[in-house]
Amino acid sequence: MRNLRSLLLAGAAILVAVTGAQAADQLLSGVISSPSGQKLEGVTVSAKLDGSTITTNVYTDASGSYYFPPMPAGKYRVWAQALGFETAKGSVDLTAGRHHDLALQPITDPETRIRQLPSEMLAAALPEATPDDARIKRIFTNNCTSCHPPGYILQFRFDEAGWNKIINLMKVVPGSGVYPGAGAKPNQIIEHNQKQLAAYLARARGPGETSMKFTQRPRPTGEAARVVWKLYDLPLNPESGIGTKYNDNDGTDWSLGPTSKLGELPHDGGLGLDGNLYYTVNNPNRLVSIGKVDGKTGEVSYLKVTASNGEAATSHGLVRDAKGDFWFDINPGRRSLGHLDTASQKITVYETPASMSPVGGAVTMDVDGNGMIWASAPDGAVRFNPITKEFTGFKSLTPYNNPKGTGMTYGTAGDRNGNGWWAQMAMDTIGRADIETGKVTEVKLPPVKAEMERIKPEDRAFYDSFNELSFNTPLPWSQGPRRMGTDKNADVLWVGNSWGASLARINTRTSEATIMPMPDPTMQAYHIAVDSQHQLWGNLWTSDRIFKFDPGANKWTMFDLPVHGTEIRHISLLERDGRLQVIVPVYRSSQMGVMTLRSDAELAALKAQASRN
């Protein structure tokens, strides 16, 4: 009884705030149902004000009802989507509280059904019942997703000859997705398995009956259905030749399939204490080094550092410090450390000494428990003291160039005690810098045993002698440690292992490592952020989902994105005033996304308000 009274009091307090402070805004609600009248839970419902670049997205509850947060009055496009159903579209003039119902019609065209599926569902559907199929599926998921998620290519159909032509091209294209020209060296692992791979893909996505086995997954429920997503459209690179300011296929219509990433600009992103969003740009362009999005209006402005070639200096990794300023890598000529003062909007560039490695590799940024800035270097990591403006460099024990391939750094983090950590993705190795002694040690992650056992004896010699490991050319049993995050309230480092479909939990005092499988073997973790409650948040870059893992309860929660074809490469958090917000740059479809969790009490208040309208 006491709990019920507390819930009602909390709901009443929120209702006062909603009806008072935001009286000018209006509430949009409604019910989503099937043609038979069945109320549908977990349906994505989206609304966009005419002329605006901001889309607000919510999910239906167990009764099929949806409740948007209060939004400005005006004319809105409204649409609802769920896997297996056509998009239902409508419009609402939100000059007063409105109730708008929509009905979803089942999709009848099988190809539309397939294009609509998120990447991880397409990857999961690929056959693996036989050892040969399972082996080739691993080659596909590890080596054919370095510059795009699996859904981008699996939305198309080719015969075996067609798939061979695709493979002939893609085996020479690096992770940037840019064709290097004639004479480029091919990916030896793809080339070694090309015949079997082309035949496998032709059986799965060829002209005949597919060998793929599709499994339905539950729509969002509970906490995952209470969230609100805001998506901010970002302009495309005008030099890309696309001819439109924004992406025509921005992921909001799932039936169009994953979009091309041509012209996209955002890579990493964060939400400032000033309420604005900031993002890095790692594609060559003349306009922007750091993009800024007004959190209220969605207006985008550009901050630029001019590079030695006259273009904008590109950036990649990004982290917010305790003051609300941002640190990032930037490349005006020699890759360096950038600092954005959000109050003055001034960018300052700090370059490592000539005797030290530059900032580089696949750069990830972090702030350790002592306020020091950590960044990747190609052959290790660097630490920057923002007070003294001094760098300290640490080199990997496994050299950058070694007998097995390239040991380039991928992700970097600083722990609560001030020590640094970094991943050599191709080597399945985590480096550690002890800040007190200056000593570097490393943690070797165990291989994926099941994949080692699948290798045929005639292929063993090829893999044993393979010496071109990189983050584009992994062995089938590689874990692939990528971008990481430390728990600043515990002695724990969490690492996302993209190829192993797992997490690594590392004790930052003892360096003891534990491998924890993801809920599905097609899930490829990319980046990890840890909140103040020890819960970790991660993006699944080949999925249109992010996840939360509560290690205390051993509980996974999956949060669907309202758009498909996302290819998210970074995740960050903002905890403020008792509220947690999750920020992701929606890489492929060129948006910034902010997910806000709503409580039961907040939804109860909105439901009460809607019942009176």
Total structural domains in the chain?
Answer: 3
CATH label of the domain that carries residue 459: 2.120.10.80
Q: Are 159 and 206 in contact (CB under 8 A)?
A: yes
In this structure, the answer to whether residues 171 and 80 fall within a common structural domain is no
Is the pLDDT assigned to residue 99 strictly greater than 70?
yes
Instruction: Measure CA 496 to chain center.
Output: 12
296 CB burial (10 A radius; 0-12, 13-18, 19+)? exposed
Instruction: Measure CA 67 to chain center.
Output: 26
In this structure, the answer to whether residues 534 and 414 fall within a common structural domain is yes
Q: Which two tokens stand for residue 287?
A: 């306009």
Residue 102 domain-assigned?
Answer: yes
Instruction: Measure CA 154 to chain center.
Output: 20
Task: Please give the residue that has the higher pLDDT: either 176 or 493.
Answer: 493
Residue 247 domain-assigned?
Answer: no
What's the first-to-final CA gap in the chain, in angstroms? Answer: 29
Q: Which whole-number Å values give the CA distances from 463 to 118, 190, 469, in the listed order?
A: 32, 12, 10
Q: Are 169 and 200 in contact (CB under 8 A)?
A: no
pLDDT of residue 24: 61
In this structure, the answer to whether residues 481 and 540 fall within a common structural domain is yes
For the residues 231-260, what does the mean pLDDT come to?
92
Q: In the sheet where 545-550 sits, what is the strand order?
A: 525-530, 536-540, 545-550, 555-560
Is the pLDDT assigned to residue 145 strictly greater than 90?
no
pLDDT of residue 7: 43
The torsion angles phi and psi of 575, rounded to 5 degrees, stand at: -105, 120
Rounded to 10 degrees, what is the CA torsion of 537, 539, 545, 548?
A: -10
Q: Are 364 and 411 in contact (CB under 8 A)?
A: yes
CATH label of the domain that carries residue 19: 2.60.40.10
Confidence of residue 457 (pLDDT cuts 50, 70, 90): very high
Instruction: Name which of 78, 84, 70 is nearest 40 in CA terms.
Output: 84
pLDDT in tens, 180-217: 888 899 999 999 999 999 999 999 999 999 999 999 99
Residue 29 domain-assigned?
Answer: yes
pLDDT of residue 176: 76
The torsion angles phi and psi of 514, rounded to 5 degrees, stand at: -125, 130
In this structure, the answer to whether residues 38 and 132 fall within a common structural domain is no
How many other C-beta atoms lie within 10 A of the C-beta of residue 223? 14
In this structure, the answer to whether residues 158 and 89 fall within a common structural domain is no
In this structure, the answer to whether residues 438 and 531 fall within a common structural domain is yes
Pick from 172, 204, 236: which residue ends a domain?
Answer: 204
In the chain, % of residues over pLDDT 70: 96
Confidence of residue 12 (pLDDT cuts 50, 70, 90): very low
Please give the helix or strand (H or E) that residue 375 lies within, else none. Answer: strand 373-377
Q: In the sheet where 277-281 sits, what is the strand order?
A: 266-271, 277-281, 290-293, 300-303
C-alpha 68/C-alpha 192 separation (Å) is: 52
Please give the helix or strand (H or E) that residue 228 lies within, else none. Answer: strand 228-233
Q: Which two tokens stand for residue 584?
A: 């992701």
Confidence of residue 11 (pLDDT cuts 50, 70, 90): very low
C-alpha 593/C-alpha 563 separation (Å) is: 10
pLDDT of residue 603: 94
Pick from 148, 169, 204: which residue ends a domain?
Answer: 204
C-alpha 572/C-alpha 526 separation (Å) is: 12
Is the pLDDT assigned to residue 292 strictly greater than 90?
yes
For the residues 141-165, what does the mean pLDDT come to?
93
Rounded to 10 degrees, what is the CA torsion of 563, 564, 569, 570?
A: 20
Residue 227 domain-assigned?
Answer: no
The CB-based long-range contact list for 335-338 (8 Å cut-off, 24+ gap) reads 335/359, 335/360, 335/363, 337/373, 337/375, 337/382, 337/384, 337/391, 338/289, 338/290, 338/305
Q: Are 122 and 115 in contact (CB under 8 A)?
A: no
Is the pLDDT assigned to residue 338 strictly greater than 90?
yes
Residue 456 domain-assigned?
Answer: yes
The DSSP bridge partners found for residue 493 are 486, 506
Residue 584 exposure: Cα atoms within 13 Å on the Cβ side: 34
Q: Which two tokens stand for residue 575?
A: 């905890």
Lowest mean pLDDT among 11-15, 27-31, 100-104: 11-15
Is the pLDDT assigned to residue 3 strictly greater than 70?
no
Q: Which two tokens stand for residue 527?
A: 């980046």
Residue 292 domain-assigned?
Answer: no
Q: Are 528 and 484 in contact (CB under 8 A)?
A: yes
Instruction: Name which of 110, 248, 146 is nearest 542 in CA terms.
Output: 146
Amino acid at 321: D
* Residue for token pair 């985008």: 300
Q: Are strands 326-331 and 314-320 parallel, antiparallel or unpaired?
A: antiparallel
Please give the helix or strand (H or E) that residue 74 lies within, else none. Answer: none
Q: Are 495 and 484 in contact (CB under 8 A)?
A: yes
The DSSP annotation for 519-571 comes to SSTT--EEEEEE-TTS-EEEEETTTTEEEEEETTTTEEEEEE-SSSS------
Range of the domain at 6: 2-110+603-612
For the residues 273-302, what does the mean pLDDT come to?
97
Q: Is 606 left (phi over 0), alpha (psi -120 to 50) or beta?
A: alpha
For the residues 72-85, what does the mean pLDDT come to?
97
C-alpha 586/C-alpha 55 separation (Å) is: 13
Residue 256 domain-assigned?
Answer: no
In this structure, the answer to whether residues 99 and 147 fall within a common structural domain is no
C-alpha 30/C-alpha 66 separation (Å) is: 6
Residues 6+ away with beta carbon under 8 Å from 158: 165, 166, 201, 202, 205, 206
In this structure, the answer to whether residues 96 and 186 fall within a common structural domain is no
In this structure, the answer to whether residues 25 and 162 fall within a common structural domain is no
Residues 6+ away with beta carbon under 8 Å from 598: 226, 227, 228
pLDDT of residue 485: 98
Instruction: Name which of 374, 488, 474 is nearest 429 in CA terms.
Output: 474
In this structure, the answer to whether residues 99 and 131 fall within a common structural domain is no
In this structure, the answer to whether residues 553 and 406 fall within a common structural domain is yes
Q: Which two tokens stand for residue 192?
A: 């070694």
pTM for the whole structure:
0.94
Residue 300 domain-assigned?
Answer: no
In this structure, the answer to whether residues 53 and 188 fall within a common structural domain is no
Pick from 204, 235, 254: which residue ends a domain?
Answer: 204
pLDDT of residue 226: 97
Q: Which two tokens stand for residue 439?
A: 């000593």
pLDDT of residue 349: 98
